[in-house]
């Protein structure tokens, strides 16, 4: 699984969101990371992200930060009409931003 995640990283320079159940790229919704998987970079970290995701929402996000590091997180996907819930979940998980996948837009919290 780590090899698949690393391949997606190399194919998606700026980021991706993967549903582990369907193994399909998520193309709409609002992605919000879980605090428990913050600051994950290494293969060992990715393994922890995978484990967390399989016990929660079966979704992993990877994204390139302004600092040049590629981060990996277990994420929860909210529907487009659930922005308030997404923002609350983001704040509850100490996130500085969430990502509107549908509109390819970062939303600062």
Q: Which helix (H) or strand (E) holds 105?
A: strand 105-108
In this prediction, residue 99 has a pLDDT band, given cuts at 50, 70 and 90, of very high
Q: What's the structural domain count of the chain?
A: 1
Segment 21-37 shows an average pLDDT of 97
What predicted TM-score, i.e. pTM, was given to this entire model? 0.92
Please list the residues that pair with 72 across neighbouring strands.
40, 62
Structural domain for 67, as ranges: 2-108
Q: Is the pLDDT of residue 66 over 90?
A: no
Strands 30-33 and 70-78, by their bridges, are antiparallel
């Amino acid at each position: 699984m780590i090899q698949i995640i690393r391949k997606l990283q190399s194919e998606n320079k700026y980021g991706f969101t993967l549903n582990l159940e369907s193994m399909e790229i998520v193309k709409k919704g609002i992605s919000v990371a879980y605090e428990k998987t913050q600051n994950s970079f290494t293969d060992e970290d990715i393994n922890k992200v995978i484990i967390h995701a399989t016990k929660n929402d079966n979704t992993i996000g990877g994204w390139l930060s302004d600092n040049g590091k590629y981060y990996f997180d277990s994420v929860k996907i909210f529907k487009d009409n659930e922005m308030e819930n997404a923002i609350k979940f983001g704040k509850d998980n100490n996130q500085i931003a969430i990502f509107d996948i549908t509109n390819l837009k970062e939303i600062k919290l």
